[in-house]
Every structure is written in structure tokens, then in C-alpha cells.
Structure 1
Amino acid sequence: MVNDMSELAATEPTVDSDAFTTGCPVSHGAGPAMPVPLGPESLTWKYFGDWRGVLQGPYAGSMQNMHPQLGAAVEEHSLFFRERWQRLLRSLYPIGGVVFDGDRALRTGAEVRDYHIGIKGVDSQGRRYSALNPDVFYWAHATFFMGTIVVADWLSGGIGEVEKRQLFDEHVQWYRMYGMSMRPVPGSWEEFQEYWDHMCTNVLEDNKATRDVLDLSTLAVPPFAQWIPEGLWRFQRRLVAPLFVWLTVGLYHPAVRERFGYTWSARDEWLHRAFGQAVNLLFKFVPERKRRHPRARAGWDRATGRIPADAPLVQTPDRNLPPMDTWGSPMHYNPKVS
């Protein structure tokens, strides 16, 4: 069911073509029926746009980068480590839009996909990589799906197998929004678990891109909190950075922990679960609309009639924009130049 890395490296990018994929140079032929976006009745809408998801951000980011091709792409093309906060906060808008943009989600998905067209090359070991390799692109999506499971099961009170199967089915529907080949997508929740275990055990690597995500020792003051004095931020960072790494390690597959040299005890597991329960309890005091990312909140507002259905999509604030010397690059989401 899953290709080995030699086959991954040789796989050419493939995109299922339809009207919404116009402009992508790897489109071909006639595609399937138009995908249907997820809506407010889905569990994905309930969990994916929740601000609690920020707590699993290093988990999703590091898991993505462990993929050999994706890690190479990040090392050679990404500005993430030049603008970590801005890149993370900016990306939440189009990625969230693929779920919450309603009848505009197809266009948002195509935009997200096409940011990756030029990301390809040969890594330091001579292996070819492409961000539009279907196996690579799906792996990134799989980490978003597993991040949704994490938010639901660890930070929101827990879910059962029925809900996980529903979230799996919804992640397939969500993935169709990108117009990519569906070849790598497992056929069921059970097959996905086999896929995830295989990837974590046999494919993922300990590489620089992943280690850099886990290194929070130089993380800058976030753009939304520039009022924090630098000295106070450095003090907070020394306290918080080890906590975030510990939280991230607790979410890893055992094979990933072993590969990176982390240990995990029964006491760690109990404390980790207790932390998630405490977060869930605290969020019960947060108004429901305030729990959601602005792009998710706007999707709910359109669905409930709070704002018009054709209201402009919410875009990232200026403080999260990419560096001005990159504004002409097609690889960056930038509402100022779109």
C-alpha cells in the first residue's frame, strides 16, 4: 500500500484536473466530479479551527519535516526559520480556508497547492524531491488530520473510534479540495493507522529541518505581542520552550521518539493527559466564538447568517506578511499582492 523511498523520489507530481485547477502546470486530462466542501455539520469544523490547535503546532510541523522530501524542501526553499511566528500565523488563513471557505474552498485549495509548484530539487544525498509529489503532499495533509485528532482527543475531552472514523472520512473530503491525485490516500481509518505506523517506523528521518522546529531557544517575540520587553521574553522562553518540546514528544509515535532519542515514562504519559484535560477545562470559560481562528470564525458566521454568505474572506493581518523582498514570489500567501 505504501511506496518505499526510492519510488517516492521517482514519482512525478500528479494533479486531478478540473475547472478549479486552471493554471497549474501539472494538471492533466478531465477530472472527477466537483468535490463538495465540508460544512458546519462536520466534526472537522468543530475541532480544526480551534485555537487549542496551536499547542500541537510543533508536533504537526516537526512530523511534516521528518518526511525526507518535505524536510529537504523546507531546508532549501522555506523562509520558516527567518520568520517563524509570521509563517505559522500567516499559513493558518489559507489552510483553514480549505475547510471553512464554503463554496470558495476549492479556489483556496488550488491556491494552497499552487504555492508549491516551484518547490523541487535534489537533496544533499542526491535524492529528488518535489512538494507536489502526491505522496509528499498527502503526508503534509495527514499531519493536519492527525493534528485534528490530537485537538479532539487530547485537548477537547476525548473522542471515540466512531468520531475518529468520521474525521477520517472528512479528511478525505477535505483533501479533495486541493485537486491532487487521490492515489496515496488510505481507504479507511484502519488503513490509515497502518499507513501512519509505516511512515513513522520506516520512512521518517531525523533531519535538520525537524531539529530546527524543535529548537525554540531563539524564538523571537511573536508579532502580536511586540509590547513584551526582550529581556522578559528571553526569560519566558527559557521556561516555556522545554515545556513545548515535552508536549510535542508526548504526541509522537513510539518509533519517532526512539529515532530522536527521547524517553517517555508512565508518569510522563499521566502528566501529559492531565495537561490536556486542564486545557479543556480552561477553554470552557472562553466564549465559543473566541475559541476559533478568524478564518474559522468567519466560516461559522457565514453559515449561521451572522455575516453575508458572500462576505470577503478574512485575510492575515499585515504583521504576519512575508518579508518584503519576497513579495514577488509565487510560493508565498500574501493578500497584499494577490
Structure 2
Amino acid sequence: MTQDTSEACPVTSGSASVAAGGQERSDSGISTGCPVAPGGYEAPPQPLGPDSLTWKYFGDWRGLLQGPWAGSMQNMHPQLGAAVEQHSTFFRERWPRLLRSLYPIGGVVFDGSRAPTTGAEVRDYHIDIKGVDAQGRRYHALNPDVFYWAHSTFFVGTLIVAERFCGGITEAEKRQLFDEHIEWYRMYGMSMRPVPKTWEEFQEYWDHMCRNVLENNYAARAVLDLSELPKPPFAEKMPDWMWRLQRKLVAPFFVWVTVGLYDPPVRELMGYSWSARDEGLHRRFGSLVHMVFSVLPKRRRMHPRARAGWDRATGRIPADAPLVHTPARNLPPLDRRGLPMHYCPEV
């Protein structure tokens, strides 16, 4: 992977206007797909709705349990790992960076008719993320292969949540989620070239990436290094000494949970072992999580952006109600808030 192969399309004239960051929108506010989908959309993509399996699993708080898995899997991609190492604020603000990202990423699924606009915004945060890694390889975050790899981890992460922490899913449901992940990906206005056409092709793609493309790099290892993990927002009032004691137990446990979610080739790549006993205990833990969450009301299990989407779809709030954005405590550092690569809503 030595070349920057991102695709681009010219910004067209006419009734469309160009938003900040190079994003083209029609008069209706729907992104046309530039700058990376040649020719833009033939028609705005159709967002997923509450009848989809993606809505059932993706916005669930249990998804945080696969957060280190998703982050490390994304960063193992050579280009994506280099981009994170050179451009991301992850190393400065682990919790805020994670928690605020959930809002726009979730919005691509749950924002209804506004989902294509949210998808274009997420895509355009990546326009200026490019460079050369330590081995002299060029990278660009809008390389379609790189962008789709990140999305594929969202899809597989959804499968993991459903299978490990939500009681399991059938082969037919996996195929349905695969079909839905394609429609989900259309929200970004990216080239569809890298997207496998069938569930079988995707399984081959995933295995190839795990065995032949991913690398054990600094950015991936950093995700798994929880030894200095700061207190999460919900534990702000906990004394520092108490958090340090808890972290000694929490950190290795979450690494163990993450290792249990890896494909065997990835465990080998990252230098981890896994026994039959580990597998049995891991599945028991997943069953316990499922049992605990099964007694919670549906809306309590949902992330705020997902909950708001559900409330709009069911008439609990108006269909045109303002989108829910991250609270101020999760905003980027002050010296980064003016940069176009950051989601930074006015709160």
C-alpha cells in the first residue's frame, strides 16, 4: 500500500452550493456525494429505519464493550494507523474523543432523512488527513479502501455485539446486516468500489485483511495500552487514588475482553494467546451482559443519538426535532476546535 489512491470528483456548478470543507450540498441540504464519489449520487441514498437490524444493535450501549476492539482493528490498517498517529487527538483525550465520535457516527444510521448529510459531514472531516508514514508510504483518509475498512469494522462490530452480548444472531440475520451495512455505507457518498457484493465475498475480504494487510503498529498497541487510562466522565468525582486501584483491575480485564473478540490471525499478529478456558469464560461474560441488559427498558439501552432517532420514528418527538449533539465536556481541546477535521458542534 504505497500510493495515495483516493478518488475525487470536481465540485459542480448549478443549484448546488459548496459548504465548508469542500462538501457539496443541494438546495434541499442533502449532500451530493462530492468530493469523493465520481459524479455524485444518482439519487440520495435511502437511510435505514427502525425496522432494520442495524437500528436494533448498533446504537446499544453494549457497543462500548467492543470499543477497544474497533479502535485497534481500525488502527492496524497501515494507512489508518499512520493517520491516527500523526493527526488524531486520541492520545490527548481518550474518553472525550471516543464519546463525541459516537454522535455523528451514530447519526449516519439514526438521523433519518438527515443521515446522508451527517454521512457527508463525517466523510469531510477526513479531507485534510493525509501524509507519509514512518516507512515512506503515502496515505490519505479518503482512500476508498481505507475508508471502507473503517466502516467494515463498524459492521463486524455490530455482528460482535449481537452475537456476543445480545443473545446471538442467526446466519440469516448476519446476511441481513450485511445488506444493511451497504446501504449504511452509501450515506457517506464514497466510492462503492471496495465494497464486497455478497456476504461470502465479505468474509473472504475480512479474512484477507486480517491475514495479509493489518499490521502490529504503534497506533493499534496504543489503543490496547490502558495502563494510564484516565477516569471516564461518569467517574469524575471518584478520588484519583481509588481510580488508580480500579484501573489495575479494569485495564487487563478489558484487554482480555478485546482479545476474545479478535479473529485468530489478529491475536497471533498482536502476540496474544487464547485458550479454550478463555473462550468459555468470555462467552459466559457475554451471556451475563445480555442478561443484565435484557431487564432494562429499550430506550435506556440506547445511545442518545440512537434514542432520539427512535423517538422521532415513533412519534415521541417531532420528526424535525433538532439532532442531539455531544455535551460540551466531550468537545475537542480548545487549540483544535477550529480545525475542519473535528466534529465540534455549537453546544
Q: TM-score scaled to structure 2, two decimals?
A: 0.92
Equivalent residue number for residue 110 of structure 1: 120
Q: Is 1:247 aligned to 2:247, yes or no?
A: no
The unaligned stretches of length 5 or more in structure 2 are 11-23
2-side partners of 1:131 and 1:123: how far apart? Answer: 13
1:1-338 matches, within 5 Å, as 5-6=1-2, 9-14=3-8, 19=26, 20-21=30-31, 24-26=34-36, 28-336=38-346
Native 8 Å contact 2:60 2:303 kept in 1: yes
2-side partners of 1:164 and 1:258: how far apart? Answer: 26
| SS of aligned partner of 2:315 | coil
CA 1:23/1:324 → structure 2, altered by over 3 Å: closer, same or farther?
farther
Kindly state the Cα deviation for residue 26 of structure 1 after the two structures are TM-superposed. Answer: 4.3
| 1:297-316 superposed Cα distances (whole Å, 9 cap, x missing partner) | 00000000000000000000
Native 8 Å contact 2:37 2:191 kept in 1: no
| SS of aligned partner of 2:261 | coil
2-side partners of 1:153 and 1:307: how far apart? Answer: 31
1-side partners of 2:141 and 2:337: how far apart? Answer: 20
Native 8 Å contact 2:33 2:120 kept in 1: no
Q: Count residues with an aligned counterpart.
A: 331
Kindly state the Cα deviation for residue 21 of structure 1 after the two structures are TM-superposed. Answer: 3.6
Native 8 Å contact 2:8 2:34 kept in 1: no
1-side partners of 2:232 and 2:68: how far apart? Answer: 15
2-side partners of 1:22 and 1:170: how far apart? Answer: 21
| SS of aligned partner of 1:178 | coil
2-side partners of 1:312 and 1:79: how far apart? Answer: 28
1-side partners of 2:35 and 2:49: how far apart? Answer: 30
Kindly state the Cα deviation for residue 223 of structure 1 after the two structures are TM-superposed. Answer: 2.3
| 1:260-296 superposed Cα distances (whole Å, 9 cap, x missing partner) | 1110111111111111001000111222111000000
The unaligned stretches of length 5 or more in structure 1 are none
Query: What amino acid does structure 2 have at the position aligned with 1:159?
Result: I
More divergent stretch after superposition (47-56 vs 318-327):
318-327
Native 8 Å contact 2:4 2:138 kept in 1: yes
Q: Percent identity?
A: 73
More divergent stretch after superposition (137-146 vs 328-337):
328-337
Native 8 Å contact 2:36 2:190 kept in 1: no
CA RMSD of aligned residues (A): 1.6
Native 8 Å contact 2:105 2:122 kept in 1: yes
